[in-house]
Amino acid sequence: MPTRTDGVGSLHRWMDAALAGDQALPIDAAAREEWVARCEAAYPVVYRALIAIGASESDAADALQDAFVDALKQRTPVVRAEGWLFVVAQRRWRRSRWRQRIFHPLELVRGAVRSDREGEIDLLVELRRLTERQRTVIVARYVLGLSQREIAELLGIAPGTVAATAHQTTALLRERLLGGMK
């Protein structure tokens, strides 16, 4: 089973492979080193964010590696590596989940409906009960530390929608987890 640091060790190999491709940006050595450092720094927090929205450890690692490859093909500079990587990795993970659902035989799916993790903390259980938008906004805000404006830009929704979603979802989680106690 992969560990949280497995992805960082192979990150340089992925980046070298992506930079060797025709679509990679022509960057100097200093800019490449800075980008590698930013990606390595963002890896643990984005990895945890993907797990918080429901990805397994291996799915989170796979989606994040794919996001790094895509990041190296970007033609425009990325200001917040964590936010960009989170959105791209989340999309990759969702696409992968849909493919698994479509191509996985129904009889195997019926027998596999159970939790892979014993003793989960209540927050992860409650996060799974949220809608995809609620879960994404809460994780981007409180795990990644993105501002409401940044979340709105990354998700392509209005800042007011982000604010309302964050407020309503926080109140909902508070009610579910604490029974309304503040």
Pair 91, 6 in one domain? yes
**Same domain membership, residue 75 and residue 19:** yes
Which residue did the predictor score with more confidence, 34 or 173? 173
- 138 and 126, same structural domain? yes
Q: Between 39 and 168, whose confidence is greater?
A: 168
Could you tell me which residues come within 8 angstroms of residue 3 by beta carbon, excluding any fewer than 6 positions away? 57
**Of the residues 114, 144, 159, which one is the last residue of a structural domain?**
114
Task: Among 114, 131, 163, give the residue marking a domain's end.
Answer: 114
98 and 122 co-located in one domain: no
**Structure confidence by residue, pLDDT tens digits, 87-137:** 999 999 998 887 776 556 555 545 554 555 554 557 888 888 999 999 999
Mean pLDDT, the chain, as a whole number?
Answer: 78
- The CA-based angle 46-150-84, given to 5 degrees, is 40
Q: Are 170 and 86 in a shared domain?
A: no
| 53 CB neighbour count, 10 Å cutoff | 23
Residues 18 and 100 reside in one and the same domain: yes
Q: Are 57 and 2 in contact (CB under 8 A)?
A: yes
Which whole number is the average pLDDT over 54-75?
87
On the CB side of 111, CA atoms within 13 Å amount to 4
Structural domains of the chain, count:
2
Query: Which of 114, 134, 156 marks a domain boundary?
Result: 114
Domain holding 123, by residue range, is 116-182
Task: Please check whether residues 36 and 75 belong to one and the same domain.
Answer: yes
pLDDT surpasses 90 at 163:
yes
Same-domain pairing of 153 and 97 = no
SS3 55: coil
Q: In this structure, what CATH number is given to the domain that contains residue 169?
A: 1.10.10.10
